[in-house]
Structure 1
Amino acid sequence: MASPKTTQRDTFPSDPLAAFSERTRDWFTRSFAGPTPAQTAGWPVIATGANTLICAPTGSGKTLAAFLWGIDRIASEPERLGEGVKLVYVSPLKALSYDVERNLRAPLAGIGAEVSVGLRTGDTPQKDRQAMLRNPPDILITTPESLYLMLTSRARDILTDVEALIVDEIHAVAPTKRGAHMALTLERLERHVATEADDGEGRSESPVGRPALGATGPTPGRSTSVIQRIGLSATQRPLERIAGFLVGPGRDCEIVDAGVRKEMDLEIVVPVEDMADLGGVNVQPVPADADGEPQLPGPGAGAPVSGTPGGIQMPGDTQPHNSIWPAIYPELLRLVREHTSTIVFVNNRRGAERLAKRLNEMNAEERWEEELAAEGTAAVETAKDEGDDIPGPPGPPEARAPAPLDRYPEIARAHHGSLAREEREVVEEMLKRGDLPCLVATSSLELGIDMGAVDLVIQVESPKSVARGMQRVGRAGHELGAVSKGRIFPKFRSDLLECAVVAKRMRSGEIEETVIPQNPLDVLAQHIVSMVAEPETELSVDEIESVVTATEPYKELSREQLENVLDMLDGRYPSERFSELRPRIVWDRAAGTVRGRKGARQLAVTNAGTIPDRGLYGVHLPDGRRVGELDEEMV
């Protein structure tokens, strides 16, 4: 199939708010000094009904650029409120979904719109899901996997009137199998809406499609989409490829490039004089856990073991090694204390928990030392005033009572995907208000959550890519025009080299080229089972092929590859070793049709998505409060 037609505009109306209703214009002018470049360029394009990709840096207002037109149009048709979902917002992160839902309250209240907003993620209670079926929202905020599950259940009935779809942080999923999964979900939603429109009102799936939300008029060469698709992306290259991923081959998409390079104050911090000689004392070997990670009995990753000031010996090594962590900890604590709110990014959940714990311990120890020193000074002054003997200096630290950790407020908290939703929301709000000096996070805070007062981002170890580094450092100075301040701490010599290259390219904006995976057949198998999961559903192979090849990841899927997947799902395995595996579908080769076997729907629902499935155990405090989950390996 042909690549999507992409266009980039150079001229825009002098008043980007002109097409909005009066009450929307009034709210915006009361609330903001003026539109951002992403909004100035994006609103006129979105108003035409065209598929649109908005590329802009963090904090540029692109989320409001995507939402405001849809809110204005829905509010302008009060007779249609409550009749079904009209606008769908898809976010790759649950945390971002909750953040956007909260941020929508201000424009909805300010405009005075009676537009309802619903949230559907993996955390949504079953009773709330059932309530949504009875009273569908006008705007649905969801994740790729939850949208897939809705299409695989009767919840798809509330999606028949969807007119616009926003995909946020699209660059984060495009180069992954999760992106391929989402692309198929979006195309299935497209066909679902088109089919219902055709059955209900006699409208066919024409090249022009239905008018988007309040489109201001016909646009030559609009798109072949029934649903207007709006993608939001950080700076990526090539943008045409991201646009193609958004809409699929053969559809038009207008690119709004407001990707003004964000100013960065970026430095690499090496906390030792020579990374080839970390110093310290050799230590005994440390056993490995299920992941091959050292099991550290100290208070944090790389913390001194058995009272030694040095480092750790990795499992399986015959020679002991030293750790750079004892040099990193004090520098991290110093930087945290010098700033209002700091996010420290690490590359795994275990590291986030350990680092947060160690920072809290070090902060308590230093505060305790300061109090003891102050008490000693006060005792000396009192003795001088009263003519008593001058008390001697306190004993060495190891001879004194340990610091009372519960005496001082936590300076750092951890944030990652295994935390319970309630815990995540608490720490996010604390950081936004400036009540939490430091949040140690994994990629869970990498994307567009509004972090408010953050003025420093620290990355421990290389972020592994230029785009990821820019995304993370962009969490600091989140406002438009603000400088993003970042510090990168390498952990070993080769990491220092990688950090230097990444930092240089971050400064120059040399981002890696986005590569979209082609034909991931395991993802395709999931969707085929889901498409025919309902007992009465029967699709032709041609229909399945039409849906699948209308997506960018599968545009070159051959008929032979598709039939091989159908063979596998129908139980025609290449070896007798797989004969015990139960077939999932029935493929009638003579009729060219496919239908699901008994249990297909349950299989589709319980095996959704590409995020690795792990056995998780809930962690609860004695009072019953849930704090998060642990992997089965750790348990």
Structure 2
Amino acid sequence: MKHADLVAWFAGRSWKPFAFQREVWKAIGDGRSGMLHATTGAGKTYAVWLGALKAFATAPKPAARATAKKLAPPLTVLWITPMRALASDTLRALQQPLEALAPDWSAGARSGDTASAERSAQNARLPTVLVTTPESLSVLLSRADAADVLGTVKMVVVDEWHELLGNKRGVQVQLALARLKRWNPALCVWGMSATLGNLDEAMRALLGRDDGTLVQGQVPKQLVIDSLLPGRAERFPWGGHLGLTMLPQVVEEIASSSTTLVFTNTRSQSEIWYQAILEAKPAWAGLIALHHGSLDRAVREWVEAGLKSGELRAVVCTSSLDLGVDFLPVERVLQIGSPKGVARLLQRAGRSGHAPGRPSRITLVPTHSIEMVEGAAARDAIAAGHIEARSTPEQPLDVLVQHLVTVALGGGFVPDDLYDEVRGTAAYAKLSRDSWDWCLAFVRQGGPSLAAYPDYQRAVPDADGVWRVPDARLARRHRMNIGTIVSDASMAVQYVGGAKIGSVEESFAARMKPGDCFLFGGRMLELVRIREMTAWVRRASGKRPAVPRWNGGRMPLSTTLADAVVQQLALASQGTYDTPELQCVRPLLEIQQQWSALPTPQTLLAEVLKTREGWHLFLYPFAGRHVHLGLANLIAWRVAQHAPRTFSIAVNDYGFELLCATEVDWPVLLPQVLRAGHDAQAQDAIAHHDADAALLHEVLESLNASELAQRRFREIARVSGLIFQGYPGEKRSNKQLQASSSLFWEVFRKYDPANRLLLQAEQELLAQELEIGRLRASLARIATQDLVVQALARPTPFAFPLMVERFREQLSNESVADRIARMVAQLENAAGGAPPVGDTDGVKATLAFGQERGVGGGGSGAGKPRRRERKPSRPLPPL
């Protein structure tokens, strides 16, 4: 196809190609692989897609239209998307230029949502371009004729690569690309992304080499980031309280725009806000909608269609609408609570003005006063080009084990050849021969402890040395359970005698009894009965509902955004309040500075307080809730080496609290425990490469690491195929899966302690749940900061939310409301003011709403308090 054909197609739509689109077209035409990084809505899809048509489609012929189906070329382009919801939208975008530019090409989508009839047709012959997901691509690789049906692929496009890069699904993509390259060494691979900070590393992970072409789509696009500020910033905030008090302003913003997306960070929050908006504006019934991943597919598709047609005024949603889907009518985006990261903020902002030349606008709605600082911080970070980096997981053996069985099904493999192929990926570039041999032994007989069980003899060599799956039943089981997405077991929610609404986590449904009410899909539902993993419900009214809680909703504040927040606090400490957000929160920051101090990049703020409860330590590393949990436990463990002590722990994204009922001389002990690992003895250990091992030992000792690692192992057991999750329609409860994984855990620990999946569980615990790399970096930064210890007469604005998060789960709702109201009044009086009229009632009402509906703490990311007894069972390990 000629370049002029593409330009003419653009001109027919009154478009003109951007320079970066022309650059991508040329690179693909030259046979180069690479990555395109451009803002959302800039035209990335047509840059890569039209480049593929130019390179691989023949010029259209007049007679081609009538015979397009018969002459459709074999599978030529694979388009990988991270979400099933994006497949149909992406397919429509790819189909638009086909009639004019490649009428003989066919197009289709294949994912978990694909109808069985279409899937059957694809099994007979795949379309020329196939939009699919990593999981569905792996299923195709498991076909016995995989080399024939996928060997014709000339180009693979990975959309939203940033969404896959940092997790096991991205590793799954890397392994699939390595397999396709074996069949076609000239395979052209392109990735697309809008929000990545480490572009070269991301491209290297995708291509498996360093010689890719990186194209930056520099398209002028106006981005507006502002904040919806309250009339009065609370000087003593607590997590989640301010959010719903902003409801009138949120409603006003929605009313002033044509179409608005209201993003929340959790599905529970989306249910709450949808219901609150509807109660505030009953006339909007039918004009506002709810969208999250637990709703039934038909409901989600109805909402997406309403957004595209402009029929909906607003949609309250979660990350289910973060990616790729093109909703041109969307004019505004509201973000409830902290976006937790710069990349996520940019991604969601791009959902508005999703077209070249149209401005994108996102408005942050703080759920507590301190979050207002994040608005100014995010703007500065974006202006400076600071976006979070993402890295590929290193050597996840459960994914590799699954891939070995997949390839054994897809025509078989010779170990030495496949070893070289796997090492060509970024994730397994350093895979040792010992680890490879262990994986082979594991798929051959399940390791030494499972050798007697035929179900774990999943791949064995034949007479020619080619490894294949020996049993058709095991082959079916594997194909049904391919994938790396692991979540808690879900339970369908369905009307008695009616339609399916969606699904909730089994752990939530198990706590309910018939007659209980809950809020789901924007409806008040009453549980009738639970039978065969289905919660049968009917409509209800007049009762206060619970809100389902889904796991994984509490994201930690990113390092990039946290550092930007500290920079804003440093400006405030110098008396600089030059943004609307800092001006609004100025009363809080001035009280914080008057009673204590403000954190800065050069200082680490610690506050100590003696109350009737005991001796408090408040520390503010600004490292995110996961790191703070690890730091809090580590410091408590180190202090307990001096004398047995029991600590209560509360964390949020800004800091943590340690409370001990017995006296702790924090000004003396804290410098010692923070300095541990950075003294002369530790420097000697670093020279012998033992410092990391010592830190890991301390962290694991400070936590119930065995229990946490066992929970990680359950997911690894599913991915590696140890646990069979069931055939379609077969319901296995979460309790059954947990029991199965626990059995394997105990068997391996007793009879196969060298099992590498046990080690992987510990490594994932450290890397993902405790962010050990970030914790290590935080300790290193702390060692360079000046420790500022402030003795308090009363809780500061930064300390107050930590105290609230600790005690509000220990008392009844009413007691907590009374206590918060009393503390706020006392602190306001000490600060030389008084709470606004009605604030006490507002505290009680908001807390009650939050406790019933799951909103408490949702904004600040504060964690559930933990009470642990730290006793020195052994001396502190040498550092």
Q: Normalised by the size of structure 1, how large is the TM-score?
A: 0.72
Answer yes or no: is the 8 Å Cα contact 2:242–2:366 preserved in 1: no
Q: What's 1:542 paired with?
A: 416
C-alpha contact (below 8 Å) 2:338/2:366 kept by paired residues: yes
Aligned mates of 1:232, 1:628 — CA distance in 2: 31
Report if the CA contact (8 A) 1:529-1:600 is conserved: no
1:76 to 59, 66, 69: 59
> CA separation of 1:187/1:468 partners in 2, compared to 1, >3 Å: closer, same or farther?
same
**Is 1:42 aligned to residue 33 of structure 2?**
no
Q: CA deviation at 1:331?
A: 2.0
Distance (whole Å) between structure 2 residues aligned to residue 486 and residue 581 of structure 1: 56
Check the 8 A contact 2:78/2:155 in 1, yes or no: yes
Task: Identify which of 250, 254, 268 aligns with 2:213.
Answer: 254
- CA separation of 1:272/1:581 partners in 2, compared to 1, >3 Å: closer, same or farther? farther
Other-structure match for 2:35: 53
**8 Å CA contact retained: 1:38, 1:60:** no
Give secondary structure in 1 for the equivalent of 2:281: helix
Q: Is the 8 A contact 2:34 2:207 kept in 1?
A: no
- Aligned partner of 1:596 in structure 2 is 469
Q: How does 1:279-428 map to 2 (within 5 A)?
A: 323-364=241-282, 408-428=284-304
8 Å CA contact 2:53–2:102 kept in 1: the answer is no
Name stretches of at least 5 consecutive residues in structure 1 with no aligned partner. 1-17, 195-224, 280-320, 368-407
Aligned residue in 2 for 1:218: none
Amino acid at match of 2:442: M
User: Are the equivalent residues in 2 in contact too, given 1:533–1:595 (CA < 8 A)?
Assistant: yes
SS in 2 for 1:31: coil
Q: Report the more deviating stretch, 264-273 or 586-595.
A: 586-595
C-alpha deviation, 1:437, in angstroms: 1.1
Distance apart, 1:58 and its partner CA? 0.6
Determine helix, strand or coil for the equivalent of 2:79.
strand
Give the 3 Å change call, closer, same or farther, for CA 112–601 of structure 1 in structure 2: closer
Partner Cα distance (1:347, 1:632) in 2: 21
**Partner residue, 1:178:** 169
Decide whether aligned partners of structure 1 residues 521 and 68 sit closer, same or farther in structure 2, where only a CA change above 3 A counts: same
Local SS of the residue matching 2:401: helix
**Of 226, 235, 243, which residue of structure 1 is paired with 2:203?**
243
**Contact conserved, 2:262 with 2:336, CA < 8 A, in 1?**
yes
Which residue in the other structure is 1:312 paired with?
A: none
Note closer, same or farther for the CA distance 1:349–1:45 as it changes in structure 2 (3 Å cut).
same
For residue 581 of structure 1, report the CA deviation from its aligned partner: 9.3
Q: CA deviation at 1:95?
A: 1.9
Q: Does 1:230 align with 2:148?
A: no
> Deviation of residue 88 (structure 1)?
1.1
Provide Cα deviations, 1:449-482, integer angstroms capped at 9, x if missing partner: 1110111111112222211111111111112132
Counterpart among 82, 90, 107 of residue 80 in structure 2: 90
Which is further off, 132-141 or 561-570?
561-570
Aligned to 1:506: 382
For residues 84-116 of structure 1, the C-alpha deviation after alignment (integer angstroms, 9 at most, x for no partner) is 211111111122211111123322234472321
From the two aligned structures, give the one with the greater helix fraction.
Answer: 2
Look up the match of 1:219. none
Name which of 421, 424, 427 aligns with 1:553. Answer: 427
The answer (yes or no) to whether the contact 2:260–2:333 under 8 Å persists in 1 is: yes
Question: Structure 1 residues 439 and 579, CA, compared in 2 at 3 Å: closer, same or farther?
Answer: farther
Given residue 39 of structure 1, which amino acid in structure 2 is its aligned partner? Q
Provide the C-alpha distance between the structure 1 equivalents of 2:86 and 2:475, rounded to a whole number of angstroms.
29
2:307 to 431, 440, 445: 431
Which of 1 and 2 has higher RCO (CA within 8 Å, sep 6+)? 1
The structure-2 alpha-carbon separation of the partners of 1:596 and 1:114, relative to structure 1 and needing over 3 Å to count, comes to closer
* Corresponding position of 2:351: 475
TM-score using structure 2 length = 0.53
One-letter code aligned to 2:429: K
Whole-angstrom CA distance in 1 between matches of 2:37 and 2:89: 20
What SS does the corresponding residue of 2:12 show, helix, strand or coil?
helix
Go from structure 1 to structure 2 and tell me whether the alpha carbon gap of 1:139 and 1:452 turns closer, same or farther (over 3 Å shift).
same
Instruction: Provide the C-alpha distance between the structure 2 equivalents of 1:589 and 1:416, rounded to a whole number of angstroms.
Output: 47
Contact 1:89/1:167 (<8 A) preserved: yes
Aligned partners of 2:198 and 2:152: how far apart in 1? 33
Q: Which moved more, 1:595-604 or 1:440-449?
A: 595-604
The Cα offsets for residues 274-307 of structure 1, whole Å up to 9 and x where unpaired, read as 344469xxxxxxxxxxxxxxxxxxxxxxxxxxxx
Deviations for 1:488-507, whole angstroms, at most 9, x for unmatched residues? 12323554455553343134
Which moved further from structure 2: 168-177 or 590-599? 590-599
Cα separation, 1, equivalents of 2:141 and 2:232:
57
Provide the rounded CA distance (Å) in 1 between the counterparts of 2:33 and 2:263: 34
Distance change in 2, residues 1:434/1:155 (3 Å)? farther
Structure 2 CA distance, aligned partners of 1:450 and 1:130? 29
Q: How far does residue 585 in structure 1 lie from its aligned partner after superposition?
A: 3.3
Tell me if the contact between 1:573 and 1:579 (Cα under 8 Å) persists in the aligned partners: no
Letter in 1 for 2:296: A
**C-alpha distance after superposition, 1:223-261 (max 9, x if no partner):** xx42111211114232211211221136x3111112457
- Looking at structure 1, the residues matched to 220 and 429 of structure 2 have their Cα atoms a distance apart, in angstroms, of 33
Is the CA contact (8 Å cut-off) linking 1:261 and 1:509 kept in structure 2? Answer: no
Contact conserved, 1:532 with 1:595, CA < 8 A, in 2?
yes
Partner of 1:152: 142
Indicate yes or no: 2:333 matched with 1:457: yes
Distance 1:155 1:172, change over 3 A: farther
SS at match of 1:609: coil
Moved more, 561-570 or 137-146: 561-570
Cα 1:547–1:564, aligned 2, differ >3 Å: closer, same or farther? same
Q: Answer whether contact 2:243 2:368 (CA < 8 A) is retained.
A: no
Match for residue 393 of structure 2 among 517, 527, 537: 517
Selected match of 1:166 from 142, 151, 157:
157
Residues 418, 189 of structure 1: CA spacing in aligned structure 2 closer, same or farther, 3 A cutoff? farther
Partner residue of 1:394? none
Q: 1 CA distance for matches of 2:156 and 2:277?
A: 42
Matched, 1:528 2:401: no
Name the residue aligned to 2:323: 447
464 and 261 in structure 1: CA distance in 2 versus 1, 3 angstrom threshold: farther
| CA distance in structure 2 between the aligned counterparts of 1:107 and 1:140, rounded to whole angstroms | 15
Give, in whole Å, the separation in 1 of the partners of 2:377 and 2:186.
Answer: 44
**Structure 1 residue 614, shift from structure 2 partner:** 3.8
Question: Does residue 126 of structure 2 align to residue 136 of structure 1?
Answer: yes
Aligned equivalent of 1:585, options 443, 458, 468: 458
Deviation at 1:511, TM superposition (A): 0.7
Pick closer, same or farther for the CA change 1:459–1:76 going to 2, 3 Å: same
1:123 aligns with 2:113: yes
Is the CA contact (8 Å cut-off) linking 2:158 and 2:192 kept in structure 1?
Answer: yes
**C-alpha distance in 2 between matches for 1:600 and 1:581:** 10
Is the contact between residue 74 and residue 81 of structure 1 (CA under 8 Å) also seen in structure 2?
A: no
* Cα RMSD (Å): 2.9
Paired residue type of 1:91: T
**Alignment check: 8 A CA contact 2:7 2:16 kept:** no
Asked if 1:274 is matched to 2:233, the reply is yes
Residue 246 of structure 2: SS of its match in structure 1? helix
Rounded to whole Å, the distance in 1 between the matches of 2:43 and 2:404 is 38
Match of 1:466 in 2: 342
**1:434/1:325 Cα in 2 relative to 1: closer, same or farther (>3 Å)?**
same
Q: 1:274 to 1:140 in 2, by over 3 A?
A: same
Q: Judging changes above 3 Å, is the alpha-carbon distance between structure 1 residues 89 and 155 closer, same or farther for their aligned structure 2 residues?
A: farther
Equivalent residues of 1:341, 1:434 under 8 A apart: yes
Q: Secondary structure in 2 aligned to 1:554? A: coil
Greater alpha carbon shift after TM alignment, 121-130 vs 562-571? 562-571
